[in-house]
């Protein structure tokens, strides 16, 4: 069982920055597909970024150029650096992880395209509020 705990959310003004962290415990998530999702009230859960088993990162068009995803495998922590925040970025942000198969863990791939329902592990979420 992988436990994911997000932190770093808060309230900022438009143009500000926040860094979210997702600490994983229980298993070494090196090689896992991990991702950031967000959900605003009344809206569907939206994929923000993923990082696959070999560290390849894909971000959504909505955040590309403003948000940066990284992972410290030694610490088992996933990060989301959010810059130039906009009010429309306000949402609850979740991290998710899935072990995938041995090929994916070794060679990557099949991470951005993975459905949200295919991620086995989810954090509890952290709220981000951006005021104009």
Q: Is the pLDDT of residue 74 over 90?
A: yes
Query: Is pLDDT larger for residue 81 or for residue 107?
Result: 81
- DSSP summary character for residue 14: T
Collapsed DSSP state (helix, strand, coil) of residue 76: coil
How far is it, in rounded angstroms, from Cα 24 to Cα 41?
Answer: 26
Q: What is the distance in angstroms between the CA of the first residue and the CA of the last residue of the chain? A: 40
Range 94-115 average pLDDT: 91
Q: Write phi, then psi, for 75 (nearest 5 degrees).
A: -95, -10
pLDDT in tens, 10-34: 999 999 999 999 999 998 899 899 9
- Examine the pLDDT at 46 and tell me if it is beyond 90: yes
Examine the pLDDT at 103 and tell me if it is beyond 90.
no
Q: What is the model's pLDDT at position 109?
A: 86
The token pair that represents 130 in the structure block = 């951006």
Residues above pLDDT 90, as percent of the chain: 86
Q: Which residues contact 116 (CB under 8 A, 6 or more apart)?
A: 37, 45, 47, 96
**How would you class 74 by CB atoms within 10 Å of its CB: exposed for 0-12, middle for 13-18, buried for 19 or more?**
exposed
């Amino acid at each position: 069982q992988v436990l994911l705990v997000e932190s770093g959310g808060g309230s900022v003004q438009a143009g500000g920055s926040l860094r979210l962290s997702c600490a994983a415990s229980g298993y070494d998530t090196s090689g896992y597909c991990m991702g950031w999702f967000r959900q605003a009230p009344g809206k569907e859960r939206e994929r923000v970024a993923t990082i696959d088993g070999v560290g390849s990162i894909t971000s959504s068009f909505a955040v590309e150029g403003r948000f940066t995803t990284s992972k410290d495998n030694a610490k088992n922590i996933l990060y989301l650096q959010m810059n130039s925040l906009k009010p429309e970025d306000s949402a609850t942000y979740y991290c998710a992880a899935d072990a995938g198969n041995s090929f994916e863990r070794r060679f990557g791939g099949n991470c951005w395209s993975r459905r949200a329902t295919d991620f086995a592990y989810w954090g509890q979420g952290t709220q981000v509020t951006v005021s104009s």
